[in-house]
Each structure stands twice: as C-alpha cells, then as structure tokens.
Chains A and B, each alone.
Chain A
Amino acid sequence: MALRSELVAEVKNLNHSYDGKKWVLKDVSFHVKKGEVFGLLGRNGAGKSTLIKILTTLISGTEGQISILGMDPARDGPAIRRRIGVVQQGESFEFTSVEGNFDIYGMLWDVPKKERIERRERLIKLFELDDVRKKRAWDLSGGQKRKVQVARELMHDSDILFLDEPTVGLDILMRRSVLDFIKGEVKKGMTVVFTTHNLEEADYLCDRVAVIETGKILAMDTVDNLKQFYGKKRTVEVTVGKDEAGPFFKQLMEGLPAGDVFKPGENGSALIITESPRQVLQKIIEVSKDGGVQVDWLNVRKNTLEDVFLDTLAEEKK
C-alpha cells in the first residue's frame, strides 16, 4: 500500500480477533504524521495494547491494511523493527544490572561502543538512575523499573517510538520529566505513538488523540479540536454534603435534560456535562430547595479532555 510521504503510519479498516470469535479491534482506521505525538486514549481493556502489538509487528492483524514507514508489517517486519522503538506495557528486563541492561540493549541495536557508553551515561543521569546503576533491574522499585524501561529504549535511534502507558508507576515529578523528555525528542524529529488512560497526560503531550473503547475508535482529532467540538457543552461541578448526596443526585438525575452526562465523584461531588448549563443550574437549585440540601460548591466550566472522553463514552453507550 502506498504511503503518503508525510505519514509514518497508516491503518485502514483493521479488525482483530485472538480467538476468531470476539473482535478486540473493530474497523480501526487512522494515520500518524511525521513528527507528531499521536495518543491512543482509552480505558484498560479498550484495545490499545493490542493495537500497539500489531503496529510493532509482534502480532498480525486479522483483517485490514497497515503501513508503517511505508512498509508492510507482514512482509517487512525486521526492517520496520530496526526503525522503531517500543516500550511495552509489561515489565521486561535482562537479569542483570541497570548498566548491563543499557549495554546489552545498545549492543543488540548495533550502537558503537563509545556512543553506547555516552548514551548510557546521559540517560542514567537524565532519568536519575545513578544510585541504582549497579543494582539488578529486578530489584528496583516499580517506578525505577519503568524509568529503566523507557530510558533503555532511547539507547538507539528510532523514527517512531511506541510507548504503551510509559508513565505507569512513576511519581508526578518523574512523570512530568519523562513527558518533557519525549516532547524534546519529538522536537528533534521523532514521531511518538503513545497509549494512556491518563487524560491529563494525553492533553499535555499529544498533538492528536484517538479515543478508543471496546476496540472501536469513537473520536479522533487534535486535542484542541476535540475540546472545541465538544466546547458547546459545559461541565457543571456540584458538591453537597456526603450524607445527602445519594438522594440529592438521584432526584437531580431524573430531572436532567436528555443527553446530559452525569458522573458521580467522591465525597458528595459530581460532574454534569451538558449543552444547557443554565437549565442544569436551575434544576440543582430546585432540587436543593425541595430537599433542604445545602450546595457546598457549584461551578460551570469549559470542557477538559476528560469531559470529552466521558461524553464520547456516554454517547457510544447510547
């Protein structure tokens, strides 16, 4: 399949089933442009990792067309793999030290010894792994292991870096520094395909996002466009006393305009995504008066990516 020059990955009508009975990917189509960060956003089990496995040639899709860097994964697997980097969701380490993991990886990728050492030292410093460099990778904490896995993939050059939930287990500071590092690599020309269920991360890092649920792409656009598209909607935040929240929200939900999305939160809070915020506010005041419930917090705001995500899922359910 011919690839448009500005595209590094193109997927058309991809379907996949592991057992021939249940489809885990359904008619998935998208493309990734050179130098962009493309996010696959979805809940656990949505099909993100399966999609990454297919794109990285680990498994073959059951039906559909795929082109990676202008090549067919079914025919040109080794040539594609030579030009991509993959951080898989599960842990994977050599049974040796942190340094050893970097060295072996560099050797396998034909990085010359001098450059290998330079890269190793730069990455160990950047990912703050100096204190544990002699430790066996398996003895590290969850966050440190994840750092090694992400850093190790940067021992070699890649045209596309596939990151399957790379920040799982990282603390806030390290998460931000990993995301900033990825942003830096993208500026240098790398393309990143990034899966996450963390909406803030997708918002921070991705140029375009595909929302995926039960194997289907429900929405796909730039983060800004998605927000704008759903921008006519507003999110109403409301908090009442914890003890009164049950009956209050039950009565409120019964009176909400059709199509509004209600998402209960913790400690008596809830979000309502609506096209008619004025109507929702009136309903909240009405229900609170009727039940003698004091509203502790009431706010109307523009949509975040999380709201877009919730709304997309709610529409899919309908």
Chain B
Amino acid sequence: MRVSSPNILKLMWRNLKVNTDPGTLLFLVGLPAMYLIFFGYGFQSFAQTGANPKEVLKFMAPGIAAFQAVIAGQVAGGMLWSDKRWGMLAQMLVGPFTRLEYLMGIMLTSVVLGLAGAGIMFAVAYLLIGATTITVAGIVLILGAALVGSILFGSLTLILSAFIKSSTAYNSITILILFVVNFASTVFYPFSSSLPLPLQYLFIINPLTYVANTVRDGYLTTYGFGDVTNLFLLLVGTVILLFVAIWAYRRSDISFV
C-alpha cells in the first residue's frame, strides 16, 4: 500500500486541530501535572526526616514524563474511535488518502503529543525542583523512549478502538487496562522485590516500566547498557503491537455508526 509523507503530515495536522480543545488539553497536560504535584509532594511524607524534600519529585518527574506516552496513546485510540463513531473515518477513506496513511497520521499525532507532553512535564518539574544537568545521550534516551512508548501505547489503544463499538465499553476497558499499566509500573514508585510476586510480574511485563526506567535514567544521568536493552525490547514490542493494530484496523468495520 502506498504511503505519502505530505498526506501523513496533513492528517497529523488535522488530528491536532480537532483534538486540541480545552478539555483534551487539560487531560493531556493538567492531569499529569497534578499527578506530579499531588503525588510528588504527598509521597514526600513517607521519606525519612532530614531527607532532601525534592527527592520524590525528582524521582517522579521523569516517570510522569514517560506516563505522557500512555496519555498520547489514549488520545490516539480515542481519535480512531471517535472518527468511526462520528462518521469521519468513512469520509476520510473516500478522500485522497490510503488507509495506512490515515493510521500513520494518528500514530504521528500520538508521537507529537507524547514528546510535547514529556517536554511540558519536564518544564513543570523545572518549576518545582529547579535545573537538572542532562547529557546529550540522556536526551537521546528520553526522546527514544518517549517516541517508542507513544507508538506502543497508541497501537494498544488502536487495537481496542478497532474492535470496541460502544463508548461505554471502550471507556471502561481502556480505563481498566491503563489503570493497571500506570500503577503497576515504576512511574510513581520504584520496583521492589518486597512486592507480592504477581505484582512483581506485572511490573516486569509492563512496557511502561521500561519507558519510565529509560526516561528516568536519561534524566538523572544514571543510564547504562541496560537502557539500550530496554529500548530494544520496547522497539520489538512496539513493532509487534503496531502490526497487530494495522491488522485489527484493516479488518474492522469502518462504516458502523
């Protein structure tokens, strides 16, 4: 199937225009910022007396930046779902685009939102904890993890939106899955071998754990070879999920209302 870059860019621009209403912006930026502020300061009360009061914020900021990949992915699935629901998918597909271009347009939107969201979270972190030294390698790791993470979670929600037809079912299932993804990860707290075994497994199989760990290592300049392995594993998972998403999207009914 032919794919044209200008078409994908046009579709991305359209997606951004349609999805940047105040409600979505609040969801994209406001919610993660509130997580950072409330959880960052709230969890501080668990820290030992005399500890640096900004340590928890410093730990959580890159986690929340990584969490933006999930938010961006959620918006991507929402875009396909609402285009199907409101008739625009069928209308777009009788326009001058291929189906794959439409899907890639959504993916690119997800990547842009994921990267922009991560940037905004680091800006919020700067306001709360001040400047941090980040190396070029750290920036590359952060960008790579945020990019791959956005495509991965975008693919996951696209698979869901390709199959689910009712808005209630779509919302319930995505909220449930993303709740597990968000909280059984190292976004808000570190992995610990003291966790119950099933939870440990959940942490380990959860891709967000790897996105958060890589972004955190890039931000705190604690990276090593493990982060390259993390990125590679994420990339493999992303390619698999992306192919499943393309397959699911192609076989889904585009004309239902």
Cβ contacts under 8 Å, A93 to chain B: 86-88
Q: Is B10 an interface residue (CB 8 A)?
A: yes
Given known A93-B88, A94-B18, A96-B18, contact A81–B94 (CB-CB < 8 A): yes
Q: Is A223 an interface residue (CB 8 A)?
A: no
* Cβ-defined partner of B94 (8 Å) among A58, A107, A110: A58
| Contacting pair B95 A108 (CB below 8 A) | yes
| Contacting pair A91 B87 (CB below 8 A) | yes
| Contacting pair B87 A78 (CB below 8 A) | no
| Contacting pair B94 A84 (CB below 8 A) | yes
Report which residue of A53, A94, A110 has the largest number of chain B beta carbons within 10 angstroms of its beta carbon. A94
Q: Is A57 an interface residue (CB 8 A)?
A: yes
Q: Is B255 an interface residue (CB 8 A)?
A: yes
Report which residue of A57, A90, A92, A110 has the largest number of chain B beta carbons within 10 angstroms of its beta carbon. A92
A interface size (C-beta, 8 A)? 26
* Cβ-defined partner of B17 (8 Å) among A86, A92, A104: A104
| Contacting pair B97 A92 (CB below 8 A) | no
> Complex: how many Å from CA A104 to CA B91?
13
A-B pairs under 8 A by CB, number: 70
Cβ contacts under 8 Å, B96 to chain A: 78, 81-82, 108-110
CB under 8 Å from chain B, chain A span 179-226: none
Per-position 1/0 for A52-75, Cβ under 8 A of B: 010011110000000000000000
Q: Is A88 an interface residue (CB 8 A)?
A: yes
> Complex: how many Å from CA A59 to CA B250?
11
Q: Is A169 an interface residue (CB 8 A)?
A: no
Cβ contacts under 8 Å, A88 to chain B: 87, 90-91, 94
Cβ contacts under 8 Å, A78 to chain B: 2, 96-98
Per-position 1/0 for B129-145, Cβ under 8 A of A: 00000000000000000
| Contacting pair A95 B254 (CB below 8 A) | no
Report which residue of B21, B94, B97, B254 has the largest number of chain A beta carbons within 10 angstroms of its beta carbon. B94
| Contacting pair B94 A104 (CB below 8 A) | no
| Contacting pair A90 B82 (CB below 8 A) | no
> Complex: how many Å from CA A104 to CA B14?
6
Residue on B nearest A138 in the bound complex, by CB: B86
Q: Is A255 an interface residue (CB 8 A)?
A: no
Residue on B nearest A152 in the bound complex, by CB: B91
Cβ contacts under 8 Å, A100 to chain B: 17
Cβ contacts under 8 Å, B90 to chain A: 58, 88, 90, 92
Cβ contacts under 8 Å, A109 to chain B: 95-96
CB under 8 Å from chain B, chain A span 76-129: 77-78, 81-82, 84, 86, 88, 90-96, 100, 104, 107-110
Residue on B nearest A85 in the bound complex, by CB: B94
Cβ contacts under 8 Å, A59 to chain B: 255
Q: Is B93 an interface residue (CB 8 A)?
A: yes
Residue on B nearest A91 in the bound complex, by CB: B87
| Contacting pair B94 A57 (CB below 8 A) | yes
Cβ contacts under 8 Å, B21 to chain A: 95-96
* Cβ-defined partner of A81 (8 Å) among B17, B86, B95: B95
Given known A94-B18, A104-B14, contact A58–B86 (CB-CB < 8 A): no
Residue on A nearest B2 in the bound complex, by CB: A78
| Contacting pair A90 B257 (CB below 8 A) | yes
Given known A78-B96, A81-B96, A108-B95, contact A95–B10 (CB-CB < 8 A): no
Per-position 1/0 for B70-90, Cβ under 8 A of A: 000000000000100011101
What would 28 A/B residue contacts be, using CB atoms closer than 8 Å?
A56-B94, A57-B94, A58-B90, A58-B94, A58-B254, A78-B2, A78-B97, A78-B98, A81-B94, A81-B95, A81-B96, A84-B94, A88-B91, A88-B94, A90-B90, A90-B257, A92-B87, A92-B90, A93-B88, A104-B17, A107-B10, A107-B13, A108-B10, A108-B11, A108-B14, A108-B97, A110-B10, A110-B96
Q: Which residues of B contact A (CB under 8 A)?
A: 2, 10-11, 13-14, 17-18, 21, 82, 86-88, 90-98, 254-255, 257
